[in-house]
Each structure stands twice: as structure tokens, then as C-alpha cells.
Amino acid sequence: MSDSGWSNVAIFQQYLEEHFLPYAKICPADKQKIFLIYDDHSSQKSPQLINWARERGLILFLLPAHTSHMLQPLDVAVFGPFKNYYYSECSSFMSRHIGQIITRYELCSIACKAYTRAMSPSNIQSAFRKTGIFPIDPAVVSMEKLFPCESFREEKPVQKVKSLKTGKAEAESFLIQKEENKSNNALSCSKYKVAKDTRPDAGGRAITNEDYVTEIDEYSQQRAQSTPVRQKPATKPRQ
């Protein structure tokens, strides 16, 4: 647990080292790499974590933004049954204990029963199959399903979705127009614009690969060079 209640780099790394790796590796001497898929979060992609994972043969792959409901196995086929089983266990508990409310002291035992039923091998295998991860099947998630996700990355989402649904030619025309607008805006008011953060996008890629590590190193160097060094105000000598 953290003081804030939110995850952070130290907690995520502790989980991987003390809970994930001991069960994922067949034996301590096992040299086979492990492919770990999870959603993009700032606390789970720090340079410290990336270096630690690379030393232990962990490939950390981050899902693209706004796609976990389709691409994350837990979201697709495990959390849904877990919620249903949990509600069912709550109903059974209240039927056996008329007039008694469920408190934090009963919560764990009730949730564990639901967890055991939801985390079955068949549900887990179904989750990887429905997301197209294993067996690998890119056709499982069609472009139509990604339209709502794409809208988050566009200033005019309705216009973009309409163009994508109309056909390939309309979609290409929309993207060309978008790039032209970007160039015109940059030329017309470049001196008034604030430089955008060019941090490499981690979504949809393995952040432990050499190309991402190189991009992060270059980004850190650029940030260090562009950050002005604050000078301490000169102090007058005492009279």
C-alpha cells in the first residue's frame, strides 16, 4: 500500500519481483523471456522500471490508450464474471444473515469466493482468445470497434469517425486536411505557441525494446538542455 492509495513505481516493481516473477518463471535459472501486457500508466513505465525489467528478461508491452476494454484480457473475460459472482455471493451472505450489512471484515472472504470462480483456466484462456493475443488473430478487433477510441485523439471526433466510416478515400482526405491545418497553424502563430511535450508514445509497443529506450534517453537529454538553470539572486555583502 502507498500513503496516497494509488500505485507507484516502487509498488509495481515490488509486485513484479515478489509476486509475478516467482509464479511466471518455471525455475530461477529459466532464461526464457516473459511477455507482460498491461495498460499505459505513468507509474508503470519509468526508466528505473524499464532497466530493472530488461535485466530480468521481462518484455513490458503497453496497450494503446482507450483500448483496454477490447485488448486487455482481464477486462474482456474475467472482470465481468467476477462482478456477477461477487454480487451473487453478497446476496447469499445477506440471505444467511438477515438484517446484517456487509462490512470490510466480511468483504475479503466474499470476494475471494468470487475471485476463485472468475479466475478459472477456461475464463483466462477465453480472454486471450477474444483479444486476439493467443492464438494471434489481428482480425478479432476490427477497425469499427476502434472508432470510439480514435475519437479521443481528435479535436473533431464526430467528423473523423464519419470520414472513417464513409470509406478509405474519405479517411485519407480527412488526414491530409488535418496535416495541412497543422502546418498552417504552426506557420501563422508559431511565436505565440508553447512547445508541446514530445515524450515518446508508449502505447501499443514494448517499452523494454531498444528503440523505445533510445527515444526516452534522447527525450531526457532534450529536456535537460531546454530547461533553464535558475540563478540564485546575488546577496549584498553585509556592511
Residue 86 has a pLDDT of 96
Residue 190 has a pLDDT of 43
Residue 238 has a pLDDT of 62
The answer as to whether 132 is a domain residue is no
Q: Which residue intervals of 72-188 are DSSP H helices?
A: 73-77, 79-96, 104-118, 121-130, 143-151, 157-166, 168-188
The answer as to whether 127 is a domain residue is no
Residue 26 has a pLDDT of 76
Q: Positive or negative CA dihedral for 40, 43, 152, 81?
A: positive
Residue 2 has a pLDDT of 83
Gap between the Cα atoms of 47 and 51, Å rounded: 6
Residue 193 has a pLDDT of 44
Do strands 58-62 and 34-38 pair parallel, antiparallel, or not at all (unpaired)?
A: parallel
Residue 45's φ and ψ, nearest 5 degrees, are: -145, 35
Q: 126 forms bridges with which residues in the sheet?
A: none
Residue 62 has a pLDDT of 92
Domain count along the chain: 1
Residue 200's φ and ψ, nearest 5 degrees, are: -60, 140
Residue 8 has a pLDDT of 87
The answer as to whether 105 is a domain residue is yes
The answer as to whether 170 is a domain residue is no
Q: What is the mean pLDDT of each run of 10 residues along the chain (239 residues)?
A: 84 92 81 88 80 92 88 94 96 94 92 95 95 92 70 60 64 67 54 58 91 90 77 61
Which helix (H) or strand (E) element contains residue 38?
strand 34-38
Range of the domain at 112: 79-118
Residue 15 has a pLDDT of 92
Q: 36 forms bridges with which residues in the sheet?
A: 60
The answer as to whether 62 is a domain residue is no
pTM of the model: 0.69
Q: Considering all CA atoms of the chain, what is the largest pairwise distance in Å, rounded to the nearest integer?
A: 84
88-97 long-range contacts (CB < 8 A, ≥24 apart) are 88/114, 89/113, 89/114
What does the block give as the cell for 39? 495498460
Residue 179 has a pLDDT of 65
The answer as to whether 223 is a domain residue is no
